[in-house]
Structure 1
């Protein structure tokens, strides 16, 4: 009888425990379902699932970050999770990454509907777009001073908290292969978040974030080498005169915390009188003529040589502003549910002007993460003059990495797609003919690069 009683007791405990598990799963599924996007206004039919909404990262100050997950077009349960971050600091991953670059949809000219991007990165991975930090896009803070004191450190910490909390809501992605990607000032965001996760994983007995590596493009990396490389690009691409080049090199101390009045005047002269009416984010393509309503006006004068603004300024940015300010679109995205007291914009000028802390160099972080065994790729569109290929090459050359595979041209469609060199712990890739937003200008080449990154494969040579 005693044995039977023990068996019965064990069975009861098992049933109760199973019921608790089922209840927890039901709550989790309910949370996910609340975030499910059934369809966006004007969206073509798709077979993959989408979710969007808010994740609180600071209860006390009321900071919440907005995300948009587009699951893989096939076999989503077996494919990795990739987080995409745009830079600025202060620019939206919904505006750029999702709507112009790697997302599944593009906004049409009238902002009345969406059409499919044939080279979307969710063909190969589940893509998670995050508007970060609070104050960018739909992400918000109930503490208004947060918009005036944002910086690198809090942005990285909030992004880590977001991921931990988001994976509690989406436990199917816990322990999934995870990568981080982005561009421009995300040259800070991406490695800084990778370092936060790396340290978090080391301090956690069973870490839930299975970070494998990151890929970042036209990345702000090191203030000194970036600035030297940028001025060199301007001069070698005939954008400025010999006299202005010499004057900038003479008057600008790129190692100083602040630029001198003489340096500012020299740079302003180059931008105002020598550049001409070109798009500095893509120097060989036509630019969208700015108008009074343009949200993407190029903010070079206040940001070059200190901070770089993420975001190409084609007219598609204007279409995105109209679309994402539509109430029906916001309802479909579960966005702006708290009534943010400002309209959605591609970039936040308030955050850009008031950025609080910014690392002078990411080189030490790269070295730490290379030693930690992460897969790291750095790519560069070669027609960008804001964070140009020369800037990236100067910075990388001072990491003193050992070459594994020497510089060679890589091919796609029988044409040179760019050039690449593989070092111990890092792969560098140029994308031929691409501007600041590489997947916007060269979507096929960008997708091939992304696939090879995920697969840990060399880019194809002609042979």
Structure 2
């Protein structure tokens, strides 16, 4: 009885503290980060989600924003996956969450949400990170901090974020962990993976159990990325023979982020020849609302638009409305002192002041393949920013031993794309997808993701009805 009475007194004391003191002082940081409901959400969900900040530099006041979604079912048994967008300078919340793999997508009014039926938190716990500082809701108390971002600091800050985040969410310490993303995250992902592997080698206890990573339409090597891009847009008839020759001459060995004046000039000519198409998805309509702001060819930022079931080429515009709503910022725990700051999908300041940029990450691929990580590279074949030709050139440069022949994989009886397995790497294309594969081919992208985290192969068996048709044709011909 005494033990029960003591427990009751303890509970009453806690309630009294919560009542008479600041309740946030009693709640853990994780509980404070929990999101109860969102503006424009007129439906219920069965999973918990959290958003908030992790400080990566106390002296400068540098803090990165995250949004975390538990898996729809059996969250305790499913892996943890970090999603990263690129730019450099673009928000993973704006693109990854709000129009690609996240559960909450935004309707055309910019104020109402709908549930994404192909959300990746059906298969894993998904963590979105806005990195580096200056991207999305991430901030620094030192304004000059936004002018010194680069590849190396982004990797180190993201590592610090993860180490602190698992302290806040200790149930994910040691959980199977994967990193996935696209575009300039083709740099972020292997660089962060390398940082994690090195950290684990020197740590007494591995709190980040990195198993592998997957990169979509990602920058891998400046020379091969440009060579493949020029070839892609020329082969589709988007540019003239003369411009194709000049692009190879003036831009062949240029950095993707820091180009010369001569290279920029011929890029402008190429952009005029291409016209007002969505270079991130060349066979779908462009967003006419953004026609006056058509982005230059080769300028690295993930995307001006996209879809759900009925294609909407202006999804980026909807995000700009929604994430600037004061009530949305409050719901996502953005500090009140930052509430008046304009939120944008991509930061020009971060992009234009980017410092170090590796010309190639292929050496890191070799290092991480040797470390035994599961590595997949995928490519939407309708992307004219980091096209499938660029990715294939970079994979060829790795000189990996093929383990399978190149051939189609299937989804619902149709060719979903093409794939080939190498010693240490899987390559997959997604037919008809642009730069943001999960936006244009959400069902195929979810199947791809499930295969990746389970370590299984996509279906390469030809549908039986196709075989029957082929046999019938042979009989008829004979």
TM-score (ref. length: structure 2): 0.87
Cα gap change, 1:28/1:368 in structure 2, threshold over 3 Å: closer, same or farther? Answer: farther
Instruction: Decide whether aligned partners of structure 1 residues 455 and 342 sit closer, same or farther in structure 2, where only a CA change above 3 A counts.
Output: same
- Cα distance, 1:267 vs. partner? 2.1
1:115 aligns with 2:111: no
Q: 1:461 to 1:29 in 2, by over 3 A?
A: farther
1:182-197 alignment, distance < 5 Å: 182-197=181-196
Q: Matches of 1:111 and 1:309 in 2, distance apart?
A: 21
Matched with 1:246 is 245
- Answering whether residue 69 of structure 2 is matched by residue 67 of structure 1, we say no
| Helix, strand or coil at the partner of 2:64 | strand
Classify 1:241/1:407 alpha carbon distance in 2 versus 1 (closer, same or farther; 3 Å): same
Are positions 1:332 and 2:328 aligned together?
A: no
Q: Secondary structure at the match of 1:300?
A: coil
2:15 is matched with none
Match in the other structure for 1:201: 200
For 1:151 and 1:290, locate their aligned partners in 2 and report how far apart those are by CA, in whole Å: 32
Conservation of the 8 A alpha-carbon contact between 1:220 and 1:308: no
- The whole-number CA distance in structure 2 between the counterparts of 1:124 and 1:310 is 24
Query: Residue 4 of structure 1 aligns with which residue?
Result: none
What's the secondary structure of 2:50's corresponding residue? strand
Q: Take 1:285 and 1:254, find their aligned partners in 2: how far apart are those partners?
A: 31
Change (3 A) 1:288 1:264: same
Provide closer, same or farther for how the CA distance between residues 32 and 263 of structure 1 changes in structure 2, counting only shifts above 3 A.
closer
Deviations 1:398-453 (A, max 9, x none): 00001111211000011000000111111011000000000000000000000000
Evaluate the alpha carbon distance shift between residue 311 and residue 115 of structure 1 in structure 2; reply closer, same or farther with a 3 A threshold.
same
Output one character per residue of 1:326-379: Cα deviation in whole Å (capped at 9) or x when no partner. 111111111244426631100001111110110010000110000000000010
Distance 1:108 1:34 in 2: 28
Q: 1:105: Cα distance to partner?
A: 1.2
The aligned length equals: 430
Deviations 1:144-167 (A, max 9, x none): 111111101111000000000010
What pairs up with 1:160-199 in 2 under 5 angstroms? 160-199=159-198
Alignment partners' CA distance in 1, 2:358 and 2:266: 25
What residue number does 2:296 align with?
300
Is contact 2:326-2:339 (8 Å) kept? Answer: no
Judged with a 3 Å threshold, the aligned counterparts in structure 2 of structure 1 residues 323 and 379 are, in CA distance, closer, same or farther, namely: same
Shift of 1:298: 4.3
SS of equivalent to 1:250: helix
Residue 28 of structure 2 aligns to a residue in which SS? helix
Q: 2:249, 2:104 → 1: CA distance?
A: 47
Paired position in structure 2 for 1:289: 288
Q: Is the 8 A contact 2:276 2:294 kept in 1?
A: no
Q: Secondary structure at the match of 1:405?
A: coil
TM-score, normalised with respect to structure 1: 0.90
Cross-structure match for 2:302: 310
Rounded Cα–Cα distance in structure 2 between residues aligned with 1:63 and 1:234: 40
- What is the Cα-based RMSD across aligned positions, in Å? 1.8
Q: Which moved more, 1:337-346 or 1:164-173?
A: 337-346
Contact 1:283 1:384 in 2 (8 A): yes
- Superposition pairs for residues 39-58 of structure 1, below 5 Å? 39-43=37-41, 44-58=43-57
Question: Is 1:240–1:270's contact at 8 Å kept on the other side of the alignment?
Answer: yes
Unaligned runs of 5+ in 2: 1-23, 306-312, 463-478
Query: Is the 1:138–1:336 contact (alpha carbons within 8 Å) kept by the matching residues of 2?
Result: no
When residues 29 and 372 of structure 1 are mapped into structure 2, their CA distance, relative to the original with a 3 A threshold, is: farther
Indicate yes or no: 2:23 matched with 1:31. no
Equivalent residue number for residue 23 of structure 1? none
Q: Which residue of 2 aligns with 1:263?
A: 263
In the alignment, structure 1 segments of 5+ residues that lack a partner are 1-25
Q: Within 2, Cα distance between the matches of 1:259 and 1:358?
A: 12
Aligned-partner SS, 2:358? coil
The answer on whether the counterparts of 2:215 and 2:376 sit within 8 Å (CA) in structure 1 is yes
| Kept in 1: contact 2:222–2:359 (CA 8 A) | yes
Partner of 1:407: 406
